[in-house]
């Protein structure tokens, strides 16, 4: 069989005794090497209420890291069904550095106002990266917490809100996919960062640049779904509340589909004609994100200026 460099994934449900294990076998290299496989296993909900308890559980479970900024503890590759619980992962009174990565957490519906797939209380220095948080009261509940980074995660199908920000400031939330009837709920005063300086992606929805978040709703009325897309794949800034503004909300639109007369990105194979000279005030002049693209200059020039501060050419 011809070998191809593709991502191979095999999802299994294994029943052993009375336990059900969810296992994802991933081979990023796609070369059949067993050394490249990792397992994602079922785990019961996790509750940590202090730094010392985090240290003890990390030692017991064999989690990577030591809790420092350079080497945080890592909770990763878990599937957590929180049925019957008010949380999938609860982090309280923790200031050691921790990363929660590549986890799927769902069904945290017990209780109401302070329950969610991941719940924080009076904590800091935690990163949530590439997680799926769904079918809970809240995807994430932040109470009196700061220095929490939430990025590159899917937060959807949550009944009360995707994220509840309860008297929490100084958190960074960007490059996430939100699709909930209510995406963000605020309680008390807060000021948080909802985007980063645009940089090359692809982003969470496979667009050209990483910036803010993608805001959808089940009925198709989300801010990212209804706004006008610019040539960099963003819509206009989204004010969630005072002190909470997504400066670069993501959009699925904006790709070049015909003749090229200004900056933009190409995400489909085909032949594209530049039909005018132009100076680009985007991060790029023309960004190509697809294979089999033929770009015809037709004697025209494109110049990327640095007036926007990016300085790319």
Burial 82-116 (b: 16+ CB within 10 A, else e): beebbbbbbbbebbbbbbbbbbbbbbbbeeeebbb
Q: Both 6 and 86 in a single domain? A: no
Look at residue 47 and tell me if it is in a domain: yes
User: What pLDDT does residue 122 have?
Assistant: 99
The tokens of 65 are what? 């890291």
Cβ atoms within 10 Å, residue 246: 26
Q: Both 7 and 47 in a single domain? A: no
Indicate the pTM of the whole model: 0.80
d(CA 285, CA 234): 16
Q: Both 164 and 54 in a single domain? A: yes
Look at residue 310 and tell me if it is in a domain: no
User: What pLDDT does residue 130 have?
Assistant: 98
Q: Both 19 and 84 in a single domain? A: no
Q: Both 170 and 36 in a single domain? A: no
Look at residue 224 and tell me if it is in a domain: yes
User: What pLDDT does residue 146 have?
Assistant: 98
Look at residue 257 and tell me if it is in a domain: no
Look at residue 12 and tell me if it is in a domain: yes
Question: Averaged in consecutive runs of 10 residues, what is the pLDDT profile of the chain (313 residues)?
Answer: 38 38 39 42 97 98 98 98 98 99 97 92 99 98 98 98 98 99 97 96 93 97 92 92 97 76 72 79 72 79 53 33
Burial-class residue 181 by CB neighbours within 10 Å (0-12, 13-18, 19+). Answer: middle
Q: Which domain holds residue 295?
A: 264-304
Q: Both 173 and 277 in a single domain? A: no
Q: Both 71 and 56 in a single domain? A: yes
User: What pLDDT does residue 38 have?
Assistant: 46
User: What pLDDT does residue 266 have?
Assistant: 77
Contact 158, 138 (CB under 8 A): yes
User: What pLDDT does residue 280 have?
Assistant: 66
| Cβ-proximal residues to 220 (8 Å cutoff; 6+ apart), any chain | 226
In angstroms, how far is the first alpha carbon of the chain from the final one?
43
Q: What is the CA radius of gyration of the chain?
A: 22
User: What pLDDT does residue 198 have?
Assistant: 94
d(CA 78, CA 24): 10
Q: Both 86 and 137 in a single domain? A: yes
Q: Both 88 and 189 in a single domain? A: yes
């Amino acid at each position: 069989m011809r070998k191809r460099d593709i991502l191979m994934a095999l999802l299994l449900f294994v029943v052993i005794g009375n336990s059900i294990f969810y296992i994802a076998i991933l081979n990023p290299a796609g070369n059949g090497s067993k050394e490249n496989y990792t397992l994602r296993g079922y785990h019961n909900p996790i509750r940590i209420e202090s730094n010392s308890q985090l240290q003890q559980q990390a030692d017991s479970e064999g989690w990577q890291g030591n809790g420092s900024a350079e080497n945080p503890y890592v909770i990763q590759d878990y599937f957590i069904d929180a049925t019957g619980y008010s949380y999938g992962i609860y982090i309280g009174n923790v200031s050691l550095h921790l990363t929660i990565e590549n986890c799927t957490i769902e069904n945290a519906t017990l209780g109401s106002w302070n329950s969610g797939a991941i719940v924080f209380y009076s904590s800091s220095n935690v990163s949530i990266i590439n997680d799926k948080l769904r079918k809970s009261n809240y995807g994430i509940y932040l109470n009196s917490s700061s220095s929490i980074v939430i990025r590159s995660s899917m937060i959807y199908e949550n009944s009360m809100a995707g994220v509840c920000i309860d008297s929490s400031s100084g958190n960074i939330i960007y490059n996430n996919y939100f699709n909930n009837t209510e995406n963000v709920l605020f309680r008390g005063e807060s000021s948080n960062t909802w985007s980063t300086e645009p940089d090359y992606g692809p982003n969470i929805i496979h667009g050209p640049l990483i910036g803010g978040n993608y805001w959808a709703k089940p009925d198709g009325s989300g801010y990212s779904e209804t706004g006008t897309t610019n040539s960099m794949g963003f819509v206009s800034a989204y004010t969630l509340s005072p002190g909470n503004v997504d400066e670069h909300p993501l959009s699925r639109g904006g790709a070049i589909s015909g003749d090229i007369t200004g900056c933009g990105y190409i995400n489909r194979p085909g032949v594209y004609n530049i039909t005018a000279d132009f100076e680009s005030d985007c991060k790029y002049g023309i960004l190509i994100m697809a294979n089999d693209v033929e770009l015809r200059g037709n004697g025209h020039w494109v110049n990327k200026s640095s007036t926007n501060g990016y300085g790319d050419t």
